[in-house]
Amino acid sequence: MRSSLSRRLRAAAAAGVLGATLLGVCAGPASAAETKHTRYYLALGDSLAAGYQSLPGGGHEVGHGYAQDLARTLEQRAAAAGHPFSFTDLGCPGETSGSMVNGGCPYPHSFPGAQLDAAVAYLKAHHKDDLVVTLDIGANDVDGCAAGGNLDAACAAQGIVTAGRNLGTVLSRLRAAAGPHTRIVGMNLYDPFLAAWVTGDKGKVLAGLSVPLADTLNATLECVDAVHGVPTADVAKAFSTNSFFPLVDLGGQQVPLNVARILSWTNMSRGDIHANDTGYQVMADAFLAKL
């Protein structure tokens, strides 16, 4: 009887050891799944990505734009899920699509050579990571085409062609370097020249002509994005770029909705094409809608 009880106890103990072993094996993958990996955000582009703003008393600042607004929201989402977060902004004020590919951004920047090379290196270093990439480029290819209050159509056409071609190069290289968990979102552009509407009859003409230019540039950017499987944050729609109606009140003056938004959401009232805090948040929200 005692021998039989001893055998049963030894069998129970062996079963317990086996069960504990199997439980440990099964728990292995679950423990790995619980590891909280860092989520990354990389901002690419020109002064809008850099968060450039002129200051009312003169001078300017960077690092206060849509990328920072978006990073704040993404960090909150990561924290809510228990993940660390890392944000890198390579945006360079004055960057054209050409200088992004070939180097030569005129503003002091953190990377040697071309922004695109720095971006590709970053993507390769984070190939396995959960990574969001935002990109805006092309505005500086056409901004000089309305100097002096006159629209140079030939200049604009060439700038649009150049922006489209170089954006294709940028996205091809970013796509080739991106990992399986990388999400890239592009952006179209608002039309700062709508602000000319309030300067008189000549300004109204310039504002009216600027919208087809903005539409053509944006259609080009959206087409190139689509070819590379990249969604486009619709900043132009958020700014009501095509909405000359309804008329709304702006400081006691009735102006088209698109004009009011440009003057309210950018610093064009003092000649600065860059967004203000409100405009940058609108842009961040347009990106969030695609993430």
pLDDT at 146: 87
Residues 57 and 86 in one domain: yes
**Per-residue confidence (pLDDT) for residue 150, from 0 to 100:** 87
pTM of the predicted structure, to 2 decimals: 0.88
Amino acid present at 238: A
Same-domain status, 23 and 132: no
Q: What three-state secondary structure class fits 157?
A: helix
Count of beta carbons in the 10 Å neighbourhood of residue 241? 24
Residues 169, 106, single domain; the answer is yes
pLDDT of 14 above 80: no
Q: Please, are residues 120 and 173 in contact by the beta-carbon 8 Å criterion? A: yes
Do 60 and 78 sit in the same domain of this protein?
A: yes
**Residues 178 and 228 occupy one common structural domain:** yes
- Place 34 in a pLDDT band, splitting at 50, 70 and 90: low
Q: Are residues 146 and 19 in the same domain?
A: no
Task: Check whether residue 80 and residue 216 sit in a common domain.
Answer: yes
Cβ atoms of 252 and 246 closer than 8 Å: no
d(CA 109, CA 199): 36
Domain with 6, as residue range(s), is: 1-35
Query: pLDDT tens digits for 199-242?
Result: 999 999 999 999 999 999 999 999 999 999 999 999 999 999 99
Provide mean pLDDT across the span 90-116: 97
How many structural domains comprise the chain? 2
